[in-house]
Amino acid sequence: MSIKLAVPCLLLLAAPAAAAEALPAAIAAPGETVVLSVHAEGAQVYECKAGTDGKLAWAFREPIATLLAEGKTVGRHYAGPSWEDADGSAVVGKAIGNAPGATAADIPWLKLEVAARRGNGVLTPVTTVQRINTHGGKLEGACEKAGDFRSAPYSAEYVFLRKS
C-alpha cells in the first residue's frame, strides 16, 4: 500500500476515537463499539401543564423525528424514547447521563441505556444510545392554556453502540 493511501485510512480509523474523547464524561461510553450513527431532524413536542406550584408551564411530552443516513430516511424516533430502523428493529432507552447543549436553545446531549428492544436487525445488539450535537429543541416562554401543545424544531446525531 502506498503512503498516499495509508495516511487517509489512518485518519479515518482515528476519527471515531478522537470524537469519542471529545464527549463529556457524563455521556461517554468507553469500550463500546458504534453500530450505527444517524442524523435526526424533527421536533420536541411540549404540552402546557400546571406545575407543582400551580403555574402553567411548558412540559416536554415527546420527540418526533426522522432518522437519516446519507440523505436517506432510515428510521424514526418517537415517544419512549424509541428509535426504529427501517428494517423493523427498535430500541427503547432510559436516560442515564446528560450534558448541556452548545447553546441555551439546544436540548441536552444524552446517554441512554437500552431498556427494551424488538425485532431483528441493525438495532438488535445496541446497548447504549447517545444523543449529541443537538441544535434547537428547547421551548421557552409562558403558556396560556392547559392542554395546549407546541413544538420546537431540533436536530441531533444519534449514535447507537454495543458493548464489546
* pTM reported for the whole predicted model: 0.85
Instruction: Per residue of the chain (164 residues), give pLDDT as tens.
Output: 444 444 443 333 434 444 445 899 999 999 999 999 999 999 999 999 998 999 999 999 999 999 999 999 999 999 999 999 999 999 999 999 999 999 999 999 999 999 999 999 999 999 999 999 999 999 988 899 999 999 999 999 999 999 98
Q: What is the pLDDT of residue 164?
A: 84
Do the beta carbons of residue 42 and residue 63 sit within 8 Å?
Answer: yes
Q: How far is residue 126's CA from residue 50's CA, in Å, rounded to a whole number?
A: 37
